[in-house]
């Protein structure tokens, strides 16, 4: 029996007035629903309707006593306190993705300035950027069980402000090796945030009964777009990257307090494996197929983030604002596509939608590769944003719904490899740019687009229902 059916049972057994008193953001409430759901299902299978009612009433009494005792006590620590806006679960997930990407999106538009300050070429800049990829690989492989022990609320309230602080610290690097070392902890924090937010999106859409994953990732893109525009304006003003990124830290802290201050993790998905999560999220064949689908989108999205500003500066000698705008434009086009993608996925299928978008991605890569003018290159970056929009969110949903292993393990396994491609591939393209020209950093993505189209069936060939 799922949570919605269980809530219906509670309405019947306890009365609608009592059922309305439950707090859906309360951890005890979700525990209660799990227990009642299990007991009701067992009693129903044995044909004991009175036992169903007795189980529900017993757990309800336990919840009432817990709520009264907890309301009479002050929170034991900062992380037990609730503050900020009281948002519905799905809006809190959207806002979490937004503030996380807003934190991430401030650095890429400033990479041309950091490259100039460090006086290095693209290859060494790419080496420095690999630090984040290395940290993410470590984090996604081992961080899942640690986050479960620490608690998702405590973790997310700490990790996002910490990410802003680490980005600001990395901007003070004097050379590529220092940049690498300072970005390594950035990657560790990114991996933890990715695990929490993607699992929360999947569990929330399961709890609510309709899809929110694509829209959640749309807010990630909106956050990146917003940060990109602000960073482009700041770059045009001449403010140093170090001061700019330091000023972002208190802004991110306020944003996290406002929109995640009342965050409570959604209940676990029902019907998934009960196997204990492993410390190392090794990929299965099903996960590897999903990796092949996401590879082109992840690497080309990362290439646009890391190299589009430098591309515009080196190829067309545009002013700083237009260089930063290229980063924001790709994220903005991606955001709009993700926001409106769900009806198409529900009407057709993940495979059909992904193949159309992969063709759009291919056209965008070709435009950037051959662009004779800056405006045509910007069109190419926008098409790349559209093409990369929903491939990864669809793959994350597919991974979370696999039943061979626990959802956290499958999500971490897919994210581990895909994000290594997202973070490791584009920095390595710096060597391509240094030896063959910055245009080739995008041209090498065409074979990857073909590979993704071949493997697109792994996402599923049947239309997805709005309900889950």
DSSP secondary structure, 199-235, as one string? HHHHHHHHHHTB--HHHHHHHHHHHHHHHHHHHHHHH
Mean pLDDT lowest among 188-192, 200-204, 453-457: 200-204
The winner for highest mean pLDDT among 46-60, 61-75, 401-415 is: 401-415
- Of 303 and 58, the one with more pLDDT: 303
The answer to whether residues 128 and 183 touch, using CB atoms and an 8 Å cutoff, is yes
Which residues does residue 278 pair with via DSSP β-bridges, in sequence order?
none
User: 442: closest CA among 379, 365, 377?
Assistant: 365
Region 409-428 average pLDDT: 74
Cβ burial, residue 47 (10 Å; 0-12/13-18/19+): exposed
Q: How far apart are CA 33 and CA 21, in angstroms?
A: 14
Percent over 90 (pLDDT), the chain? 41
Cβ burial, residue 142 (10 Å; 0-12/13-18/19+): middle
pLDDT at position 17 is: 41
Helix or strand holding residue 449 (H, E):
helix 446-454
CA atoms within 13 A on the CB side of 199: 30
Region 366-391 average pLDDT: 94
Percent over 70 (pLDDT), the chain? 75
Summary mean pLDDT of the chain: 80
Helix or strand holding residue 190 (H, E):
helix 176-208
Domains (range + CATH), the chain: 3-73 (no CATH), 89-459 (1.20.1250.20)
pTM for the complete prediction?
Answer: 0.74
Structure tokens at 17: 């007035």
Region 182-194 average pLDDT: 93
State the pLDDT confidence band at 70, using cuts at 50, 70 and 90.
Answer: very low
Q: How far apart are CA 63 and CA 28, in angstroms?
A: 7
Q: What is the tens place of the pLDDT at every residue in 337-349?
A: 988 887 888 788 8
């Amino acid at each position: 029996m799922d949570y919605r059916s269980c809530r219906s049972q509670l309405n019947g057994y306890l009365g609608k007035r009592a059922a309305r008193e439950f707090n859906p953001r309360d951890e005890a409430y979700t525990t209660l629903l799990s227990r009642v759901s299990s007991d009701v299902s067992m009693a129903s299978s044995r044909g004991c309707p009175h036992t169903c009612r007795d189980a529900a009433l017993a757990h309800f009494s336990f919840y009432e006593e817990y709520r009264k005792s907890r309301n009479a006590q002050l929170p034991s620590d900062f992380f037990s306190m609730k503050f900020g806006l009281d948002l519905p679960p799905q809006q809190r997930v959207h806002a979490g993705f937004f503030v996380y990407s807003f934190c991430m999106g401030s650095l890429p538009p400033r990479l041309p300035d950091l490259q100039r300050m460090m006086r290095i070429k693209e290859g060494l800049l790419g080496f420095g950027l690999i630090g984040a990829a290395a940290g993410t690989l470590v984090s996604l492989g081992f961080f899942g069980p640690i986050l479960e022990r620490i608690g998702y609320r405590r973790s997310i309230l700490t990790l996002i402000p910490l990410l802003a602080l680490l980005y600001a610290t990395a901007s003070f690097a004097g050379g590529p090796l220092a940049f690498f070392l300072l970005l390594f902890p950035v990657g560790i924090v990114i991996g933890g945030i990715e695990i929490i937010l993607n699992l929360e999106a999947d569990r929330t859409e399961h709890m609510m009964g309709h899809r929110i994953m694509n829209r959640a990732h749309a807010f990630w893109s909106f956050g990146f777009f917003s940060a990109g525009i602000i960073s482009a304006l700041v770059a045009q003003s001449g403010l140093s990257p170090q001061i700019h990124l330091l000023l972002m830290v208190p802004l991110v802290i306020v944003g996290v307090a406002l929109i995640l201050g009342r965050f409570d993790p959604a209940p676990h998905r029902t019907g998934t494996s009960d196997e204990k999560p492993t410390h190392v999220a090794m990929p299965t064949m099903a996960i590897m197929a999903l990796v092949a689908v996401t590879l082109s989108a992840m690497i080309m999205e990362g290439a646009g983030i890391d190299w589009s500003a430098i591309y515009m500066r080196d190829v067309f000698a545009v002013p700083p604002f237009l260089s930063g705008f290229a980063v924001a434009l790709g994220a903005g086009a991606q955001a709009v596509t993700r926001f409106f993608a769900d009806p198409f996925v529900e009407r057709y299928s993940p495979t059909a939608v992904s193949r159309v978008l992969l063709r759009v991605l291919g056209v965008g890569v070709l435009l950037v590769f051959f662009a004779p003018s800056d405006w045509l290159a910007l069109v190419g970056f926008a098409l790349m944003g559209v093409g990369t929009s929903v491939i990864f969110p669809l793959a994350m949903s597919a991974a979370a719904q696999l039943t061979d292993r626990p959802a956290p393990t499958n999500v971490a396994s897919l994210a581990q490899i895909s994000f290594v491609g997202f973070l490791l591939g584009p920095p390595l393209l710096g060597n391509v740019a240094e030896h063959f020209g910055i245009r080739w950093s995008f041209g090498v993505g065409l074979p990857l687009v073909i590979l993704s189209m071949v493997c697109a069936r792994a996402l599923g060939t049947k239309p997805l229902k709005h309900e889950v």
